[in-house]
Structure 1
């Protein structure tokens, strides 16, 4: 088995807000991120798949196909969007880096032929990222 990682970039806006809390409590917990006018990030996504190398092609997975799947399932849905308002999964959960990794796993799981999804890594900024390995799903 070998691991193969493909990267993609997208930009999106979001804010953190718990409607069950007061404005003061949201500000205390989420700080500047509770500004409902939102803020944005240039995200980097890493999708790592695991599989065996095809002896005829030398590939774990067709790289163009993997890119197309990531573009269709994630980048086209998230890029230049307001996550809270335009991406369905964030209508019911905070669009944190951690939750984005889980949501992207759900979007990609089972859609990559001849390979198993191994890891989703979402960078919110170069020094902040979340990894998800599919545990609990």
Structure 2
């Protein structure tokens, strides 16, 4: 965190603390709600081609191969934790997807460390 000293960062983040940045290859899942009505004509909740385009715009373009703290304006003021990455993805997808379609965002920092975000509800797993 830019608002903490090196010593405070070390105490809070432990081995994940690094003054030059801390990297991960995050993986994510975005879940379209099963509560949303299936279109009787198409048989889909959302066209998967459209969903892929939304994911490209909301996730890949702003985040892929980026130093989040330096290259993504959102993280200039927000600590780039897995929790905040999930919030960022949620907010970006929510702007693009039809209302009521987005159910949850799940971000994997590692196979054992994941965060699930459902709007205002965050669950660390």
C-alpha deviations, 1:51-110, integer Å up to 9, x for none?
Answer: 111112111100010011001111111000000001111111111111111111111114
| Structure (1/2) with the larger helix percentage | 2
1:27 matched to which residue of 2?
A: 10
What is the TM-score when the length of structure 1 is the normalising length?
0.79
SS in 1 for 2:96: coil
2:107 matched to which residue of 1?
A: 122
| Structure (1/2) with the larger strand percentage | 1
Is the aligned partner of 1:107 residue 2:106?
no
Segments of 4+ in structure 1 off by > 3 A? Answer: none
Give RMSD over aligned pairs. Answer: 1.6
Q: Distance in 1 between matches of 2:84 and 2:106?
A: 11
Q: Distance in 1 between matches of 2:29 and 2:18?
A: 28
What is the correspondence of 1:80-91 to structure 2 with a 5 Å cutoff? 80-91=65-76
Q: 1:42 aligns with which of 1, 10, 25?
A: 25
SS in 1 for 2:97: coil
SS in 2 for 1:121: strand
Q: Which runs of 5+ in 2 are unaligned?
A: none
Q: Distance in 2 between matches of 1:115 and 1:22?
A: 41
